[in-house]
Amino acid sequence: MVGPQILGKRVRHLSRYKDIAHILVANGFGWFIDEIGLADVMNLPRRLFTERKEARHSLTTYERIRLVIEQLGPTFIKLGQMASLRGDVFPAELIEQLTRLQDEVPPFPFTEVEQLIEQELGSPIHVLFSEFDEQPVGSASIGQVHRARLQSGEEVAVKIQRPDIERTIQVDLEILMDLARLAERNLEWAEHYELTDVVEEFRYTLLNELNYTIEGRNADRLRKIHENDSYVRVPQIYWDWTTTRVLTMEYVRGIKLANRQLLEDAGYDTGLIAERAAHAVFDQLLIHGFFHADPHPGNLAVLPDHSILFMDFGMVGRLTSEMKRYLAGLIVGLMRRDSDAIVRVLYRMGVVPTDIDDRKLHRDVDGLREKYYDVPFQQISLGEATADLFAVAYKHRIKIPSDLALVGKTLITIEGVVEGLNPSFRILNIAEPFGRKLLMDRLNPKKLSQMGIKSVLDLFDLATDLPKQLRTILQGLSKGQVKVSVEVPELTRMVSQFIRIGNRLSFSIVLLAFSIFMAGLMVASVLSKSPSALWSLPMTDVGAIIGIVLFVALVISIWRSNR
């Protein structure tokens, strides 16, 4: 049943729906419209939707999907590029085609540039800038970039959003979400991968790209991360000339990493450039947990002092401490060819379906180990290994968290960049020390203490909540509020017994939590190089006495109940 809100959107966007339908039909995908249940709202002959035309095309299915995306316009191109990050959701052949999508379109007229800048910044171009090139230095689906100079003399790059692009994207996003809902209702794989959630992730990322103040903040954060790194450069943002639709940043002259021959002819050390680019990305990933997620050669340049210039901050990724541990575990598992470690990380991440065939999963991950077993560590391609892991995830319908999927694509991209600069360079040589450092940081006394305190607090919460939750469940059972198929005699007496058991269990958890806490204090006390006043107190003696009292109380409670 189609809700009135969705139906209203379909009527309102009927012209765009028809455009999409015609493009799908022209490329042999009319049957797909019928399969997801959209044919009934299209005013076209039904035979166009039900006829399968793949045989009439010399191109493969995945090549035709790429053509469809290119013909559908900027929104779908951007979403296709984002979909290329999800090797765990889409097959490798499709990912290969999506990576070929080009985000290059003709520039819009300079008169519209002038109008938009005056509208956004409140003054005409000639008042704001002493120079402003009419020809853009770059043009893409969302905006274009012009070189200019502020009245104060600074050379800047001004990024201007295309007129009406936001409305176009909003319409396409509404249609995409509608199609995803229909697909989930009619296609088993779409329901399994929760396609609406995938589209929502894309929607969130794309709308962020439309807000240039977010891109400016991303640049500022990366600039802060690398403020003490002489080998990395991030342009400064000029906030007085920046809005949601206009972004003004420092213009830095450099040579893009896309042309190795040009770099060598100019006398650059491409091996050093490759090492510095990889080092910067791994520093962002594994140390800071905030990274440039699209480090392709067009977004990286080198300056005369061999420092690396990052550009275009619309797509960034974030990793929590937990995600960084997962990533380190996967990298170390790949480096050690330890298939069991990789599977453990996947289970720990909670992304393995409950109905998975565990034996087949281990077999396929073991296949990765066999593939790389005889390959010297220095020769392993991290990008290829990541793609192989995503292929296993896709086969077993394991949905990798979007942040880690973004990491995977970033690793594949930066590995391609550095190997293009220096074919003998292996990115794992840079990755290994970062992964080792991240794992060693987990043994840091301060972090051990923090983790111990967090575990204690979690256990105390469990101990506090358990009796109440157990009482609620059992009282619901006794009142018939929870339907069960088994009759239990003397339920009231059993309820009180379960509550006593729950209380005793929670008391035991408190004792365990206290023991962990004391152990954490003692470990931190031993490992700490600069003990604070806290460690000078007789914590061990006091803790031992309290622990003995709690233990005796528990024993007496059990003895009195004859258990």
Whose CA is closest to 278, among 411, 424, 406?
411
Instruction: Find the catalytic residue in 172, 178, 294, 312.
Output: 294
Beta-carbon neighbour count of residue 553 at 10 Å? Answer: 12
- For strands 143-150 and 155-161, give the pairing: antiparallel
The C-alpha atoms of residue 413 and residue 251 are separated, in whole angstroms, by: 25
Do 85 and 78 meet the contact criterion of CB atoms below 8 Å apart? Answer: no
Q: Token pair for residue 330?
A: 């996967």
Q: Distance of CA 110 to CAs 126, 134, 163, 192, 248, Å?
A: 13, 6, 12, 47, 17
One-letter amino acid of 142: I
Burial of 441: CB neighbours in 10 Å, binned 0-12, 13-18, 19+: middle
The C-alpha atoms of residue 275 and residue 444 are separated, in whole angstroms, by: 28
The C-alpha atoms of residue 66 and residue 80 are separated, in whole angstroms, by: 8
Is 40 considered catalytic here? no
Cα-to-chain-centroid distance, residue 374: 32
At 85 the three-state DSSP class reads coil
At 163, give phi and psi (nearest 5°). Answer: -60, 135
DSSP tag of 438 = H
DSSP tag of 307 = P
Do 304 and 331 meet the contact criterion of CB atoms below 8 Å apart? Answer: no
Question: Catalytic site residues?
Answer: 294
